[in-house]
Amino acid sequence: MAKVHIGIPTLNGAAFISECLACLANQTFQDFEVFISDNASTDGASEICADFARRDARFHHLRAPATIPWANSFSRALDLTSAPYFMWRADDDLAEVDYLERLVQQLDAHPNAELAVAPILRVIDKPGGAQTLFDLPDADGLTGLERLERILLGCHPSWFYGLWRRESARVHWGRVVERYPFLWASDHLALLPPILDDRVVFAPETHFIQRIKRAEQVYRLPPPDLMHARAAYSALAREMVRARPWAVGEEAKVLSILERHIEKRVARKWRTYNRVAEYYAKKLFRR
C-alpha cells in the first residue's frame, strides 16, 4: 500500500481536472495513489479521468451512478482510501511540486500531529484576477492560549487540503457531515479539533495553490441559511471547546477567541442579521 492516498471529489471539471491530475503525478514525493470520486460528471470530465487512470496505475477513477451532495462526495473520496496519510484535493487546485514531500516530512517528524499545512496562494483565475498569499501564522515561541489564538485566527479554509492522518480526517469530517448540515464553513469546522489540540504542523517552504475557477459559487448561502449555518457552527464548535480539559479560567477565554474566529471565518453576526432583514423586506415588497 502507498503511504499517501489522495481523494479528489469532482463534478463537471473537464476544463481544469487535467491540470490537477498532472500536478499530482509530477510531485517529488511518489509513494501515493489517487482516487478520483467522480460525482456523475456529464461534461467530459469522466472520460478525461478514465484516460488518465489508464495511463498511470497510481490513479483510480470511480464514477458514481448519480450526483450526490458535495459534502457526501468529499466523504466518498475519503472512504475510497485506506493509507495512513490522506489528502483531499479539489479538482481545480494545484500545488508546488514539493508540496506532498514537505507535508509528509512534517507528519513523519511530529508523531502527535494530525494535520500538516502550508502557505496558501489564492489565484483568481480569470482576466484581471489577482493573486493573494496567505502565509502561515507566526506562532513560533508562543504557547498555551496565545498560540491557540494566533493559529485559530490565522487559519485558512484551504488548510483542509493539507495532509491528514487518515483516521483523524475520518473522525473530524465524519462529525461535521453528521452534525452540521451545511457545506459553508464545513472545512473550518473539520479543522477546529486539531487546532484546539495544537496538532497542526507547518511546512513553510512550499505552497498550496487555491484556484478560483468555477463561475458559479456553489458554496454561497442565502442570508437566512447563512444565519442558521452560523448558529449551527457556533453550537458544535462550543461543544468541541467544552469537551476539552482546560485549566481553570481558560475555557471562557477560548470561547471568546472562538467567537472572534466565527466572526472572521463563518459570518459576522450583526451584518448577517441585517442581510436577513433586507432579504425578507425585499421578498415582502415583491408581493
- Give tens-digit pLDDT for 127-152: 666 899 999 999 999 999 999 999 99
Same domain membership, residue 246 and residue 145: no
The arithmetic mean of pLDDT across residues 176-205, rounded, is 97
pLDDT at 99: 98
Of the residues 217, 244, 259, the one at which a domain ends = 217
pLDDT at 279: 79
Same domain membership, residue 152 and residue 91: yes
When comparing pLDDT for 185 and 218, which is higher?
185
Look at 73-87, 203-217, 223-237 and tell me which has the smallest mean pLDDT: 203-217
Same domain membership, residue 158 and residue 59: yes
Of the residues 178, 200, 217, the one at which a domain ends = 217
208: its cell numbers:
498550496
Q: Which DSSP letter does residue 14 get?
A: T
Domain extent at residue 125:
4-217
Of the residues 166, 188, 217, the one at which a domain ends = 217
Same domain membership, residue 78 and residue 160: yes
Same domain membership, residue 162 and residue 263: no
Straight-line distance from the first to the last Cα atom of the chain, in angstroms, rounded to the nearest whole number: 61
Same domain membership, residue 64 and residue 52: yes
Strands in the chain per DSSP E: 4-10, 32-38, 59-63, 85-88, 94-95, 115-117, 120-124, 131-134, 163-165, 200-202, 208-212
Q: How far apart are CA 237 and CA 227, in angstroms?
A: 15
Same domain membership, residue 139 and residue 278: no
Q: Specify the CATH number for the domain of residue 18.
A: 3.90.550.10
Q: How far apart are CA 35 and CA 76, in angstroms?
A: 10
Same domain membership, residue 138 and residue 29: yes
160: its cell numbers:
483542509
Same domain membership, residue 238 and residue 211: no
Q: How many domains does the chain have?
A: 2
pLDDT at 153: 98
Q: Is the pTM of this model over 0.85?
A: yes
Same domain membership, residue 225 and residue 213: no
Same domain membership, residue 176 and residue 263: no
Which residue, 135, 176, 174, 179, is CA-closest to 154?
A: 135
Same domain membership, residue 210 and residue 72: yes
The arithmetic mean of pLDDT across residues 61-84, rounded, is 96
* Beta strands 120-124 and 131-134, pairing class: antiparallel
Which residue is it, cell 517552504? 205
Q: Residue 192 corresponds to which amino acid?
A: L
